[in-house]
């Protein structure tokens, strides 16, 4: 048989029994058969005994119900699993008898609560937030988990309690503070009493966190949730506010799980957000690892209004997303759908991906040609524990004399080659700590350095007066045919080109046409657009930077002391020690317009020929970095032309 036991303490403690049984009737007992129902404390003390009559005994199931008052002490024994319920035949009281211990039923549900403040910034000026969830285990004990984040030293110590809010007189039922360690309170309440169970099931049990100054720093009411789909995991994650314009009461908790069909399930509960009509977007941001500028993929899960969203996308996660969910870094984002501001976020760490959803190889690498990979943003190259964007250049962390750059997702590095340093007397060669090359210095220079440091600055790097170096230019690295010097008088970097182009040009075309650039420091070949030159025979009147700007000139962020004149064309300096000749800018009435060199059909044909003949198709990275045009850009040009032709038809 089976018995369902329920209690009530609304007016006075009472118990209700519904006993379903069979097998205790004799063959001749066919009508109005008496049955003895007893509730006792370990056969020592009878709590309840009742004789009930079964009008017509059935062969399969019989049901009897009993209601009776009960004392608080007996009710406490009942909730702690100390009472035995029995149903027996009156004819054979000890032979035909069914009995069993009364245990608290472990249901497939849990009770959860985001913990938030009242929204008053003075009460919760540090933005403290948290979450809590509890459930009953098979032994009838209450397992509780409480997480509190952003606790300031001024708010410690805190006191965590379970509070009954069934009436105006709020009663503290259990103290969870002794188990609070490292922002978590995790433990089990073994000796449960009805005073905890009844408000728990009626939705009137509150988790309250107090401090010495605040009787309720943060709190949350426990509400029931079925253990299914997203909540069938070990723990939720705490969503904390990222937008500081939100009230301090804004907090959320999110459950995520992946089923055997590789579908992700989610359940997100928010509180204290304020505007309930705001359209929100729930998304996941997948990263391969926690590193600066790491590439990421964003999967939008849902768009919703209100404080709760639950569901699962129709499409399962792809392999890249599943791998990153299993061993990478994943962020949960709640954004404003229209402003795109991230309101709340969390790091997703506790999602277990089924083995059948993961690749069956250990060294799985995501495909760079996949649709998901193409939607990635930020870093394209990984080097020395961080990611770098395409066409970025940087100084190696391990070797400050090595420069690297990222092109076509490949990292290339070049160690600095120091030019010869011949110092005229009385100057002498010195090499300061942190420098890669020798510089010329005399006693007056050294005295000035100790008083007020005077250096040349170029793209964030400083050089001592008199220092000489070769510029670092993508894609060939350090250009040993160009020499740059930090002018001691003007504290400006000046670069000059070696005139012997036969020795310096690595890949000169058969017909060459070289023209000096405007500042007389670089040379252009026929692949690059010519720069308007100032004729040497016409002297240029020196004007102050203020005059040039007043006459419609443009600011030079690279060198504020040398603004661009109105009508002047120039190559900008970006992330390199020299002009970036793949882009041409023009200053017109104070406004700068820039245009990248367009890859013509002839250029792409030449690159393709170099790729096939020069490298025999073995090193794509080298051939695609010989000019401003790469094979990838040429492919894009071809596809763009096809689309234009299709649209024109």
Neighbours of 496 (CB within 10 A): 12
Q: Which residues contact 530 (CB under 8 A, 6 or more apart)?
A: 515, 524
Asked whether residue 522 is assigned to any structural domain, the reply reads no
- pLDDT (0 to 100) of residue 133: 95
In CATH, what number is assigned to the domain containing residue 62?
A: 2.60.40.150
- pLDDT (0 to 100) of residue 7: 80
Same domain, 405 and 451: no
Asked whether residue 582 is assigned to any structural domain, the reply reads no
Same domain, 22 and 129: no
Cβ–Cβ under 8 Å, residues 555 and 572: no
Same domain, 138 and 24: no
Domain closes at, from 483, 503, 523: 503
- Could you give the CA distance from residue 161 to residue 219 in angstroms, rounded to a whole number? 10
Same domain, 261 and 274: yes
Instruction: Pick the most confident of 161-170, 349-358, 503-512, 610-619.
Output: 161-170
In CATH, what number is assigned to the domain containing residue 166?
A: 2.60.40.200
Residue 502 DSSP SS3:
helix
Instruction: Pick the most confident of 134-143, 321-330, 334-343.
Output: 334-343
Same domain, 322 and 433: no
- For 60, what's the count of Cα atoms within 13 Å in the CB-facing half-sphere? 0
- Tally of structural domains, the chain: 6
Cβ–Cβ under 8 Å, residues 199 and 166: yes
CA-based R_g, the chain, Å: 39
Residue 546 DSSP SS3:
helix
Residue 230 DSSP SS3:
helix
- pLDDT (0 to 100) of residue 223: 94
- pLDDT (0 to 100) of residue 502: 59
- Could you give the CA distance from residue 126 to residue 128 in angstroms, rounded to a whole number? 6
- pLDDT (0 to 100) of residue 630: 66
Asked whether residue 387 is assigned to any structural domain, the reply reads yes
Using a 10 angstrom Cβ sphere, with 0-12 exposed, 13-18 middle and 19 or more buried, the burial of residue 17 is buried
Give the residue among 410, 405, 429 at the shortest CA–CA distance from 419: 429
| Model pLDDT for residues 497-546, shown as the tens digit of each residue | 776 655 665 555 443 333 343 434 443 334 444 444 434 444 445 788 88
Asked whether residue 508 is assigned to any structural domain, the reply reads no
Arithmetic mean of pLDDT over the chain? 79
- pLDDT (0 to 100) of residue 520: 40
207 DSSP assignment: E
| Model pLDDT for residues 371-385, shown as the tens digit of each residue | 443 345 556 788 888
175 DSSP assignment: E
Using a 10 angstrom Cβ sphere, with 0-12 exposed, 13-18 middle and 19 or more buried, the burial of residue 579 is buried
Give the H or E element holding residue 105: none
Percentage with pLDDT > 90 across the chain: 20
Q: Which of 90-94, 105-109, 112-116, 329-333 has the lowest mean pLDDT?
A: 105-109
- pLDDT (0 to 100) of residue 536: 44
| Domain residue limits at 353 | 233-361+369-374
Same domain, 355 and 333: yes
H helices within 192-233, ranges in order?
A: 194-202
Average pLDDT over residues 251-279: 90
Same domain, 210 and 241: no
Same domain, 247 and 336: yes
pLDDT of residue 614 exceeding 60: no
Same domain, 26 and 94: yes
Asked whether residue 609 is assigned to any structural domain, the reply reads yes
Domain closes at, from 503, 532, 566: 503
pLDDT of residue 206 exceeding 60: yes
541 DSSP assignment: P
What is the distance in angstroms between the CA of the first residue and the CA of the last residue of the chain? 80
Same domain, 137 and 201: yes
pLDDT of residue 123 exceeding 80: no
| Model pLDDT for residues 541-597, shown as the tens digit of each residue | 578 888 898 899 988 877 778 888 999 988 877 544 456 777 788 898 888 887 777
Same domain, 357 and 238: yes
- pLDDT (0 to 100) of residue 622: 38
Instruction: Pick the most confident of 164-168, 291-295, 324-328, 505-509.
Output: 164-168
Give the H or E element holding residue 472: strand 472-473
Between 626 and 347, residue with greater pLDDT: 347
- pLDDT (0 to 100) of residue 363: 55
Asked whether residue 549 is assigned to any structural domain, the reply reads no
Give the H or E element holding residue 257: strand 251-258
Cβ–Cβ under 8 Å, residues 629 and 602: no
Name the token pair of 410: 């490949």
Cβ–Cβ under 8 Å, residues 505 and 497: no
Calculate the CA 312 to chain-centre distance: 20
- pLDDT (0 to 100) of residue 449: 47
- Could you give the CA distance from residue 640 to residue 636 in angstroms, rounded to a whole number? 6
pLDDT of residue 229 exceeding 60: yes
Asked whether residue 510 is assigned to any structural domain, the reply reads no
pLDDT of residue 36 exceeding 80: yes
Residue 76 DSSP SS3:
helix
- pLDDT (0 to 100) of residue 378: 57
Asked whether residue 392 is assigned to any structural domain, the reply reads yes
Average pLDDT over residues 334-339: 92
Name the token pair of 379: 């870093």
Residue 99 DSSP SS3:
strand
pLDDT of residue 3 exceeding 80: yes
Give the residue among 113, 412, 287 at the shortest CA–CA distance from 403: 412
Using a 10 angstrom Cβ sphere, with 0-12 exposed, 13-18 middle and 19 or more buried, the burial of residue 541 is exposed
Same domain, 355 and 391: no
Domain closes at, from 82, 101, 120: 101
pLDDT of residue 362 exceeding 80: no
């Amino acid at each position: 048989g089976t018995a369902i036991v329920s209690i009530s303490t609304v007016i006075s403690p009472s118990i209700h029994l519904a006993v379903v049984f069979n097998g205790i009737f004799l063959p001749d007992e066919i009508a109005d058969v008496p049955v003895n129902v007893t509730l006792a404390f370990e056969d020592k003390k009878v709590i309840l005994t009742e004789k009930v009559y079964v009008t017509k005994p059935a062969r399969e199931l019989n049901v009897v119900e009993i209601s009776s008052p009960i004392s608080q002490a007996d009710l406490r024994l009942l909730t702690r699993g100390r009472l035995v319920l029995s149903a027996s035949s009156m004819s054979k009281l000890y032979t035909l008898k069914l009995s069993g211990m009364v245990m608290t039923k472990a249901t497939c549900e849990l009770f959860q609560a985001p913990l938030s403040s009242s929204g008053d910034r003075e009460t919760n000026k540090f933005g403290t937030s948290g979450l809590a969830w509890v459930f009953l285990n098979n032994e009838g004990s209450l397992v509780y988990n409480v997480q509190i984040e952003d606790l300031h030293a001024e708010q410690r110590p805190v006191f965590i309690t379970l509070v009954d809010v069934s009436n105006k007189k709020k009663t503290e039922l259990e103290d969870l503070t002794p188990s609070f360690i490292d922002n978590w309170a995790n433990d089990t309440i073994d000796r449960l009493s009805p005073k905890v169970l009844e408000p728990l099931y009626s939705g009137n049990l509150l988790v309250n966190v107090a401090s010495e100054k605040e009787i309720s720093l943060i709190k949350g009411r426990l509400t029931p949730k079925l253990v299914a789909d997203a909540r069938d995991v070990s723990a939720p994650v705490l969503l904390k506010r990222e937008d500081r314009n939100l009230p301090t009461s804004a907090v959320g908790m999110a459950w995520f799980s992946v089923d055997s069909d590789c579908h992700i399930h989610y359940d997100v509960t928010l509180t204290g957000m304020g505007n309930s009509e705001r359209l929100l977007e729930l998304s996941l941001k997948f990263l391969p690892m926690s590193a600066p500028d790491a590439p990421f993929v964003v999967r939008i899960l849902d768009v919703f209004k209100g404080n709760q969203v639950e569901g699962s996308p129709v499409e399962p996660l792809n392999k890249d997303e599943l791998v990153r969910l299993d061993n990478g870094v994943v962020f949960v984002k709640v954004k404003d759908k229209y402003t795109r501001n991230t309101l709340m976020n969390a790091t997703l760490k506790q999602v277990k991906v089924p083995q059948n959803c993961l690749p069956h190889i250990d060294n799985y690498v995501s495909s760079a040609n996949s649709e998901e990979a193409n939607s990635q943003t930020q870093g394209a190259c990984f080097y020395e524990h961080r990611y770098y964007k395409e066409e970025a250049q940087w100084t190696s962390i391990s070797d400050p004399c090595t420069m690297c750059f990222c092109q076509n997702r490949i990292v290339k590095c070049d160690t600095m080659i120091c030019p010869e340093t011949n110092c005229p007397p009385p100057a002498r060669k010195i090499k300061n700590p942190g420098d890669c090359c020798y510089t010329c210095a005399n006693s007056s220079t050294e005295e000035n350095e100790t008083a007020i440091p005077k250096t040349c600055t170029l793209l964030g790097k400083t050089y001592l007066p008199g220092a000489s170096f070769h510029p670092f230019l993508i894609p060939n690295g350090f250009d040993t045919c160009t020499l740059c010097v930090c002018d001691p008088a003007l504290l400006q970097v000046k670069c000059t080109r070696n005139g012997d182009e036969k020795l310096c040009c690595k890949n000169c075309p058969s017909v060459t046409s070289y023209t000096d650039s405007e500042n007389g420091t670089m040379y252009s070949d026929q692949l690059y657009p010519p720069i308007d030159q100032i004729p040497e025979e016409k002297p240029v009147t020196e004007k102050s930077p203020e005059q040039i700007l007043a006459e419609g000139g443009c600011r030079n962020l690279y060198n504020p002391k040398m603004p661009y004149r109105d009508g002047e064309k120039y190559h900008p300096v970006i992330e390199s020690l020299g002009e970036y000749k793949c882009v041409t800018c023009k200053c017109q009435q104070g406004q700068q317009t820039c245009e990248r060199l367009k890859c013509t059909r002839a250029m792409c044909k030449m690159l393709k020929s170099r790729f096939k003949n020069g490298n025999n198709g073995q090193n794509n990275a080298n051939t695609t970095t010989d000019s401003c045009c790469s094979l990838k850009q040429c492919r894009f040009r071809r596809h763009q032309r096809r689309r234009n032709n299709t649209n024109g038809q």
